[in-house]
Structure 1
Amino acid sequence: MAWLAAGEGYEIALVEGKVAARSATGRTAGRQLKTLPKALRDHPEVDRLRRLAEWLDRHEAACVAQVDTWMVSSLPVPTALLARVWPDEAWQSALRDIAVVGDDPDEVGFLRDATAGGELKVVNLDGETVRLSPLTVTLPHPVLLPDLDDVRDFAAELGIVQRVEQIHRPTWVKPEAPAATATEVRDYAGGVFASRFGLAARATGLGYRVSGGYATCKVRDTGRGTEAAVWIGEPYYEDETSTGALSWHDENGRAVRLTEVGPVAWSEGMRMAAALYAGRKIEEGGDAR
């Protein structure tokens, strides 16, 4: 970003997301200062840059959240849309190196570029850069990727780092034959927390929604909306509480039998339950499984 005049003898700019200043006169002209001079702290241009930095942070977080939503929901994303947002650095950062699938569901590639003409450049699993022009692509959830371990090994060889947790996202594979009438999983029930407030704060800090007595996450799987929910205790309950069972509900709020839960909804629900359980109190010498 260009340096802007601010006050007598100073220039300011956003550097790594923060307002920085440099001297514009004398022998130190052009040298960036370690701290913002007191004379500039209330300057209107400094305030404007601070507000811009805050907006950029929110925009960057929103881009990452949207790409994550596309991925966990298996939604087809128009190639033209990716090409349109690619010049935006925040979008590019969120999308770069995300695994995408075009017309051939068996051809996975890591996104490296999107041209104005709607063409995608990806590195395939043979290490070759290829060009794709499908109308839409999907950003597959890792539980849907065949040979996921091989994909992870290849990504490590390329030094791929993803802003959106995809190929290294923890996954849980649904058991082949869950009980026919079962609607709950209790693998991560019983995690004790000092208060319901602390458990709810952990849930929101991890990006999950808290509604009533549940922490929830929504997933679109096998063509329908599903919400995973973990019981965390009655609202405003101030005493010690513990994690409850994990269950899934359809778009009308009806419980979904485990046999009908899709692979992505299963994995994401278990991921949420495990993440909440990991923050439990562990007594010294107690069970630390």
Structure 2
Amino acid sequence: MGWLSAGDGYEVALVEGRVAARATSGRAAGRQLKSLPRALKDHPEVDRLRRFAEWLDRHAAGCVAQVDTWMVSSLPVPTRLLARVWPDEAWQSALRDLAVVGDDPDEVGFLRGATESGELRIVNLDGETVRLSPRTVTLPHPVLLPDLDDVREFAAELGIVQGVEQIHRATWRRPDDLDAKATEVRDFTGGSFRSRFALAARASSLGYRVSGGYATARVRDGGRTVEASVWIGEPYWDDEVETGSLTWQDQDGRALPLREVGPVAWSEGMRMGAALYAGRVIEEGKDA
């Protein structure tokens, strides 16, 4: 964005997401000022730029949230859609360097570009840049990648930094020796919080939904929707609370036996439970 006239002697612009000003006359002409002059604080152009900056922040957050949804659910995304949004810097920041899979589920690569015709530029795990044009691609959840450690190692060699947490996302794999009748995980029970409000606030800040006495995470896994839930206490309870069990339900509200929970739903549920439990109050001292 270029510089805009803002009254006598000044121009303003968005610089790195903030409103900046520069003088147009005098010894400082053309030089960006360290702070916004008092005379410009209520100027209409400054207000307009501030509101535009806020919109850009919301747009960027929305792009990240949408891409995260595609990734967590491993939903097929039309390549033409990726090509259409790629010129937008916010979308590009969220999508660039994500691991993608096209027609061949064993061929994983990192997204580096997209053309208007729907062709994707990918760096594969051999370090070669290739062009693909499948009808759709998936941004797989890391628990579904068969050689995740190798993918992470290669990403480190390339210096890849992802705008959406994917390959370095914490993952859990469901044990094979679960009791056939078990329906809850108690690994994260007993995490103490000063109040139910504090625990609910932590859940919300991490992006989880708070409904009734639960923090929940809804995941599409294997073609069905599954909701993971952690008990966080009755609403409006003001005293100290503790985290409860982690459970999973299908879209009809039926409690799922742990053996029926899919790999993505299991990993995301455990990730939620661990993230909530990590914020617990830890007493100091020898008797803690």
User: Normalising by the residue count of structure 2, what TM-score does the alignment of the two structures yield?
Assistant: 0.98
Counterpart in 1 of 2:167? 167
Report the CA distance between 1:257 and its aligned residue: 1.1
Q: 1:167-246 residue pairs with structure 2 within 5 A?
A: 167-246=167-246
What residue number does 2:77 align with? 77
CA contact (8 A) 1:177 1:259 kept: no
Aligned partner letter, 1:167? I
Q: Does 1:65 align with 2:65?
A: yes
Matched, 1:150 2:111: no
Give the Cα–Cα distance (whole angstroms) in 2 for the partners of residues 178 and 67 of structure 1.
33
Cα gap change, 1:287 to 1:202, in 2 (>3 Å): farther
Where structure 2 has 5 or more consecutive residues not aligned to the other structure, the ranges are none
What is the distance in 2 between the residues matched to 1:225 and 1:35? Answer: 50
CA offsets per residue over residues 80-105 of structure 1, 9 Å max, x none? 00000000000000000000000000
How far apart, CA to CA, are the structure 2 residues paired with 1:74 and 1:155?
A: 20
Given residue 61 of structure 1, which amino acid in structure 2 is its aligned partner? A
Instruction: State the Cα deviation string for residues 207-238 of structure 1 (Å, max 9, x = none).
Output: 11100000011100011000111000000000
Partner of 1:8: 8
Q: 1:49 to 1:287 in 2, by over 3 A?
A: farther
Q: Indicate the SS of the match to 2:225.
A: strand
CA offsets 1:165-193 (integer angstroms, 9 cap, x no match): 00000000001131111111000111000
Partner residue in 2 for 1:56: 56
The match for 1:104 is: 104
Could you list the per-position Cα deviations for residues 19-68 of structure 1 after superposition, in whole angstroms to 9, with x for gaps in the alignment? 00000112211100011000000001100000000000000000000000
Secondary structure at the counterpart of residue 27 of structure 1: coil
> 2:254 — aligned with what?
254
Q: Give 1:286 deviation, angstroms.
A: 6.6
Task: Give the 3-state SS of the residue equivalent to 2:82 in structure 1.
Answer: helix
| Matched position secondary structure for 2:143 | helix
- After TM superposition, give the deviation of residue 282 of structure 1 in Å: 0.7
Equivalent residue for 2:125? 125
Preserved CA contact (<8 Å) 1:217 1:229: yes
* Root-mean-square deviation over aligned CA pairs: 1.0
Q: Work out whether residues 119 and 133 of structure 1, in 8 Å CA contact, stay in contact via their aligned partners in 2.
A: yes
TM-score by length of structure 1 reads: 0.98
Which amino acid letter does the alignment assign opposite residue 147 of structure 2? Answer: D
Aligned length: 288
Check if 1:265 corresponds to 2:265.
yes
| Cα distance, 1:269–1:287 mapped onto 2, change above 3 Å | farther
